Amino acid sequence: MAAAEGERRLPHMPNQLSAVEQRIVRASIAHPGLGPKQISCELAREKWGAILVSANGVSYGSFCDGELMPAGRDET
C-alpha cells in the first residue's frame, strides 16, 4: 500500500536522547563532582521530577555512552 500524495513518515532518529537521559546528563553537568549513586539520589528529588533510576542506569546512561567523563578521568 503506497503512501498518499504529500504524506510522509516521521523521521527515525536513533541517536536522539530520551527525556530521562537528558535529565541524567543535565544533573551530571550541574553536579560534576557527584558519582552515579549520588546523581541517582539527586534525580529522585522533587526538584528533578522524582525520577527513579538506579546508579547503574545513571552510569550507563551518561558516563558509559561517552557523553560525559567522570571528574578526574582523561579520555584515552
Which pLDDT tens digit goes with each residue over 15-65? 777 788 888 888 888 888 888 899 889 889 998 888 888 888 887 655 555
Residue partners of 24: CB distance under 8 A and separation at least 6: 39, 43, 53, 57, 58, 61, 62
pTM score of the predicted model: 0.59
Average pLDDT over residues 4-14: 76
What confidence category does residue 11 fall into, taking pLDDT thresholds of 50, 70 and 90? Answer: confident
Select from 54, 65, 50, 69 the least CA-distant residue to 16: 65
Domain segments of the chain as ranges = 19-63
